[in-house]
Amino acid sequence: MASLQGRPPWMANNGPAKFEVTRTVDMMCHPLAASLKVAGETADARVDFALAGLTGPIPEAMKYAVRGGKALRAFLVLESARLHGINSARAQPAAAAIECLHAYSLVHDDLPCMDDDALRRGQPTVHVKWDEATAVLVGDALHSLAFQLVMETEVDAQQRFILTHTLATAAGARGMVGGQAMDIAAETAAEPLTLDQIMALQMAKTGALISWSAMAGPRMAGDKEHQLRIYGDCLGLAFQIADDVLDVVGDAATVGKAVRKDQAAGKATFVSLLGLDGAKRRAQDLVTEACDALSYYGDDAETLKEAARFVIARGH
Amino acid sequence: MASLQGRPPWMANNGPAKFEVTRTVDMMCHPLAASLKVAGETADARVDFALAGLTGPIPEAMKYAVRGGKALRAFLVLESARLHGINSARAQPAAAAIECLHAYSLVHDDLPCMDDDALRRGQPTVHVKWDEATAVLVGDALHSLAFQLVMETEVDAQQRFILTHTLATAAGARGMVGGQAMDIAAETAAEPLTLDQIMALQMAKTGALISWSAMAGPRMAGDKEHQLRIYGDCLGLAFQIADDVLDVVGDAATVGKAVRKDQAAGKATFVSLLGLDGAKRRAQDLVTEACDALSYYGDDAETLKEAARFVIARGH
């Protein structure tokens, strides 16, 4: 086997390595800010562990791309898992997975041939800090890592299957990428989009991953996902309306990315179609609907309700 | 729920739809050309089915990108499955998955910021026929589709887990993307790569997916993968050496993509390091080693042996 001496030791694959965590069962409801911070740190730690031993620009830029966000999606995974009796240690890989998938989409969306953005989360985008080829590969590697991680969620095989399969459909041509393609097509369309079309577009582009995150808990537990599906769908739309509002009223330094881009491009948005006040009211109605859907969980869901209110009150 | 009327019907996710196939148990060994043709048609049909109902440039370009290749990886999946008693109908999703993953990597590798190729499989590359943004999204959507499909392989949950998890690691920063990054780094390195470095690079860049394909059968069946691991590793390297030879002796019309690029870039290749005859001999030795590893399967493995010989005799 002299011909194969070049095989690097890290190519051996004996299944996922063991990520050791202290298994405290934390079924307490915590304030939002603390929960988001823990979710972000959890995702970062998992990604670091998955990339341990790798050096060079790709793993370095992968960690860079995952860091510094709100970690809203990881939080939704951990919180919906907690509501369904799945402790953090078991849900952490899925939380890290959705942050990797989200980060890949941002890295690719920021490319010059896509939205051509130089600023993301208040930092230079990956293709600016490194280069375009690195950004393409970093997005691709984060995309694969998301599926590696979600498969490491410590739940029954059937539940892991549902989590992984729904993540693939939420991410692909029928979900996030489909929405992104509709968004690009809208830029050159003869007519601006209608409200229904924008809602369909945004529920795919932004909503699919947010809804997946909110439904992760019941899916891990094999429970009904109905309440958290309504919550996630409403939250995703409210989130996008808030983004459109921020694009009009925010400043780049606070928002952490370029603003006033939609207006300059003459794109139809929730604000252009509903007016600024109308868009804010619609977002508020969606948050109320999201919170109502959680009444089933009682006080236990307080942090998720706080998250819904935060989504439309945030400055970034 | 008036606020959610914009939800398009295709966003409903009730698990994988049923793909109906005639369940003939075909345990016969067929000639290579016929087997490759069937593998390609199988992958194409599965991708068409997965994209049914979607319209627009993304699904259209996804189908375009998957078509027209040799379907070597899909063939390896189906053939190694057959050797382990898994019939074609059960293995088809995994065969389609690896072709989607391979196609995504080609679409992204061909981008102007990567290899900047205008020709692939004798046709215009996706970013030439459509545009760069479409090519980025098409690669991303094929990447997600690969994980959707591999999860639909009709084997036990534990086997499906191993298939999917190993596909994610083979594709990511420790596999294909890692090798691609090493390849890009080599272009600007002060010293040309050594033979050991090129072998490590190629076993990640090209080898990881080929080995995964060859090992898919025993992994589906829960059998030992040792023999097919050796076969796949040797085949992957032989394949890449043959690619380097074709880059020197082939013409673009036959090869189906640009040639003489490595030489022009001053890159170290198997040919530059071993000479043309030395490279051909090394490829022949690897094919012998690959075929020897299959002796365990007797005459049943004749088509896989034919594939190994084809890999170094091919003109494209």
Out of A54, A147, A167, the one facing B174 most closely (by C-beta) is A54
pLDDT of A83: 97
Q: Is residue B3 part of a domain?
A: no
Name every chain B residue with its beta carbon within 8 A of the beta carbon of A147: 147, 164, 167-168
The reply to whether residue A141 touches residue B177, judged by beta carbons under 8 angstroms, is yes
Q: Is the pLDDT of residue B278 over 50?
A: yes
Mean of the pLDDT values across residues B103-130?
96
Output the CA–CA distances (angstroms, integers) from residue A218 to A6, A159, A206, A223, B52, in the order listed: 45, 9, 21, 5, 29
Name every chain B residue with its beta carbon within 8 A of the beta carbon of A172: 140-141, 144-145, 148
Cβ neighbours, 10 Å, residue B253: 10
Measured in degrees and rounded to the nearest 5, phi and psi for residue A124 equal -60, 140
CA–CA distance, A229 with A294 (Å, rounded to integer): 10
pLDDT of B261: 72
pLDDT of B247: 87
Tokens coding A148: 């590696």
B110 versus B121: the higher-pLDDT residue is B110
Write the DSSP symbol of residue B301.
G
Sign (positive or negative) of CA dihedral A51, A56, A60, A61: negative
Residue of B nearest to A176 (CA): B141
Q: What CATH number is associated with residue A301?
A: 1.10.600.10
Q: With residue B20 as reference, give the H or E element that holds it.
A: none
Name every chain A residue with its beta carbon within 8 A of the beta carbon of B172: 140-141, 144-145, 148
Residue of A nearest to B152 (CA): A165
pLDDT of B189: 84
Out of B6, B104, B208, the one facing A196 most closely (by C-beta) is B6
Output the CA–CA distances (angstroms, integers) from residue B148 to A161, A166, B50, B153, in the order listed: 10, 8, 9, 10
CA–CA distance, A77 with A93 (Å, rounded to integer): 10
3-state secondary structure of B255: helix
Q: How confident is the model at residue B250 (pLDDT cuts 50, 70, 90)?
A: confident
Q: Is residue A23 part of a domain?
A: no
Out of B111, B166, B180, the one facing A13 most closely (by C-beta) is B166
Please report, as a single letter, which amino acid is at residue A299: D
Q: Is residue A279 part of a domain?
A: yes
- Give all strands (DSSP E) within A116-275, no chain letters: 119-120, 123-124
Q: Is the pLDDT of residue B20 over 70?
A: no
Name every chain A residue with its beta carbon within 8 A of the beta carbon of B161: 151, 157, 160
Tokens coding B117: 């190729």
User: How much is the pTM?
Assistant: 0.90
B42 versus A27: the higher-pLDDT residue is B42
Name every chain A residue with its beta carbon within 8 A of the beta carbon of B170: 13
Q: For chain A, which residues score pLDDT lower than 70?
A: 1-29, 252-255, 257-260, 263-264, 315-316
For Cα atoms A181, A213, A246, give the angle at the middle one, nearest 5 degrees.
60
Q: Is residue B278 part of a domain?
A: yes
The reply to whether residue B164 touches residue A172, judged by beta carbons under 8 angstroms, is no
Kindly provide the b/e burial profile for residues B44-64, where b requires at least 16 CB atoms within 10 angstroms of the residue's own CB: bebbeebbeebeebbbbbbeb
Out of A16, A57, A139, the one facing B165 most closely (by C-beta) is A16
The reply to whether residue B54 touches residue A185, judged by beta carbons under 8 angstroms, is no
The reply to whether residue A170 touches residue B56, judged by beta carbons under 8 angstroms, is no
The reply to whether residue A162 touches residue B15, judged by beta carbons under 8 angstroms, is yes
Give the range of the structural domain holding residue B134, as residue numbers without chain letter. Answer: 30-313
Q: How confident is the model at residue B14 (pLDDT cuts 50, 70, 90)?
A: very low
Q: Is residue B211 part of a domain?
A: yes
CA–CA distance, B112 with A178 (Å, rounded to integer): 23
Beta bridge partners of B124: B119
- Provide the number of structural domains found in chain B: 1
Out of B131, B151, B181, the one facing A56 most closely (by C-beta) is B181
Out of B3, B145, B161, the one facing A172 most closely (by C-beta) is B145
Give the minimum alpha-carbon distance from A40 to chain B in angstroms, rounded to a whole number.
22
Write the DSSP symbol of residue A138.
H
The reply to whether residue A8 touches residue B208, judged by beta carbons under 8 angstroms, is no
Tokens coding A240: 């996008």
Mean of the pLDDT values across residues B20-41?
74
pLDDT of B190: 85
The reply to whether residue B199 touches residue A137, judged by beta carbons under 8 angstroms, is no
Within 13 A of B188's CA, how many CA atoms are on the CB side? 3
Residue of A nearest to B232 (CA): A4
pLDDT of B259: 64
3-state secondary structure of B51: coil
Residue of A nearest to B156 (CA): A157
Give the minimum alpha-carbon distance from A28 to chain B in angstroms, rounded to a whole number.
31
Give the minimum alpha-carbon distance from B198 to chain A in angstroms, rounded to a whole number.
8
Give the minimum alpha-carbon distance from B34 to chain A in angstroms, rounded to a whole number.
31
Size of interface A-B (CB pairs under 8 A): 222
Please report, as a single letter, which amino acid is at residue B78: L
pLDDT of A16: 53
Q: Is the pLDDT of residue B313 over 70?
A: yes
At which residue do the structure tokens 């995504």 appear? Answer: B104
CA–CA distance, A226 with A271 (Å, rounded to integer): 29
Sign (positive or negative) of CA dihedral A81, A70, B134, B36: negative
Mean of the pLDDT values across residues B82-96?
97
SS3 content of chain A, % helix, strand, coil (to 5): 70, 0, 30
Write the DSSP symbol of residue B120.
E
Name every chain A residue with its beta carbon within 8 A of the beta carbon of B285: 3
3-state secondary structure of B78: helix
Name every chain B residue with its beta carbon within 8 A of the beta carbon of A1: 230, 289
Name every chain B residue with its beta carbon within 8 A of the beta carbon of A141: 172-173, 177-178
Name every chain B residue with its beta carbon within 8 A of the beta carbon of A284: none
Q: With residue A188 as reference, give the H or E element that holds it.
A: none
Output the CA–CA distances (angstroms, integers) from residue B91 to B23, B224, B248, B255, in the order listed: 11, 17, 37, 30
Output the CA–CA distances (angstroms, integers) from residue A186 to A170, A181, B4, B176, in the order listed: 21, 9, 21, 34
The reply to whether residue A181 touches residue B152, judged by beta carbons under 8 angstroms, is no
Give the minimum alpha-carbon distance from B26 to chain A in angstroms, rounded to a whole number.
28
pLDDT of A192: 87
Residue of B nearest to A2 (CA): B286
Output the CA–CA distances (angstroms, integers) from residue B257 to B30, B66, B235, in the order listed: 29, 16, 21
On whether the CB atoms of residues B54 and A173 are closer than 8 A, the answer is yes
The ipTM (two decimal places) reads 0.89
The reply to whether residue A11 touches residue B203, judged by beta carbons under 8 angstroms, is yes
Kindly provide the b/e burial profile for residues A3-28, where b requires at least 16 CB atoms within 10 angstroms of the residue's own CB: beebbbebbebeebeebeeeeeeeee
Cα-Cα-Cα-Cα torsion B112, B116, B118, B119, nearest 10 degrees, comes to: -140
Mean of the pLDDT values across residues B230-242?
96
Q: Is the pLDDT of residue B252 over 80?
A: no
* pLDDT tens digits, one per residue of B164-217: 999 999 999 999 999 999 998 988 888 889 999 999 999 999 999 999 999 999
* pLDDT tens digits, one per residue of B145-161: 999 999 999 999 999 99
Name every chain A residue with its beta carbon within 8 A of the beta carbon of B61: none
Q: How confident is the model at residue B25 (pLDDT cuts 50, 70, 90)?
A: very low
Name every chain B residue with its beta carbon within 8 A of the beta carbon of A145: 168, 172-173
Cβ neighbours, 10 Å, residue A296: 14
CA–CA distance, A128 with A126 (Å, rounded to integer): 5
Q: Is the pLDDT of residue B61 over 60?
A: yes
Mean pLDDT of chain B: 89
Q: Is residue B121 part of a domain?
A: yes
Residue of A nearest to B110 (CA): A133
Q: Is residue B19 part of a domain?
A: no
At which residue do the structure tokens 């739809």 appear? Answer: B17
Write the DSSP symbol of residue B131.
-
CA–CA distance, A157 with A163 (Å, rounded to integer): 10
pLDDT of B4: 42
CA–CA distance, B272 with A263 (Å, rounded to integer): 55
Name every chain A residue with its beta carbon within 8 A of the beta carbon of B15: 162, 165
Kindly provide the b/e burial profile for residues A79-108, where b requires at least 16 CB atoms within 10 angstroms of the residue's own CB: bbbbbbebbbbbbbbbbbbbbbbbbbbbbb
CA nearest neighbour of B50 among B144, B168, B151, B145: B145
Q: Is residue A18 part of a domain?
A: no
